Amino acid sequence: MIFEFLFMTDTISIPRRLLDEIIAHCKETYPNEACGLLAGRMDTVERVYKITNIRQSKIDYEMDPKGQLRCEKEIKSIGLKVIGIYHSHPSTQSYPSQTDIMRAYWPGEPDMPIYPDIGYMIIGPVDGDIKVRVFKINSGQKVDEINLNKI
């Protein structure tokens, strides 16, 4: 699937109520990973789309393809763009795992991110002191943290 996306700046802004919704989703799916899409304009999240993790795993996620497509169509129909993907780390820190990084690239192409201009929001650990961080995964498997502005 190809997202319509906007150039990602060094900051992503999200209303606190939407961040609370994401954290609640992560707690609801605990001990498994939660996942979803962040939709908005420019660098501001305006809507959150919870998507079923079909792996039902404590250490991995895969968005339900039908749910993801349905959400992407709705996002486009209301004039927004996908500006991020979120997922939880139930018992580990909010930093991209090696699996998270590898899945950000086209298979066999470690220098070609699938979505080079979106943020990857990670919430973790859900079973402890929850931290929410956002990253950009660049060419060459370079991971850069970007600022999270709670508005």
Q: pLDDT, tens digit, for every residue of 48-57?
A: 999 999 999 9
Q: How confident is the model at residue 2 (pLDDT cuts 50, 70, 90)?
A: very low
Predicted confidence (pLDDT) at residue 62 exceeds the cutoff of 50: yes
> Residue 79: is it exposed, middle or buried by C-beta count within 10 angstroms (0-12/13-18/19+)?
exposed
How would residue 140 be classed by pLDDT, with cut points 50, 70 and 90? confident
Distance from C-alpha of 151 to C-alpha of 141, rounded to nearest angstrom: 30
* Contacts of 147 by beta carbon, 8 Å cutoff, 6+ apart: 10, 11, 12, 134
What's the whole-number average pLDDT of the chain?
91
Mean pLDDT of 121-145: 92
How much is the pLDDT for 8? 55
Query: Which of the listed CATH numbers 3.90.45.10, 3.40.140.10, 3.40.50.300, 2.40.50.100 matches domain 11-150?
Result: 3.40.140.10
Tell me the C-alpha distance between 82 and 42, whole Å: 10
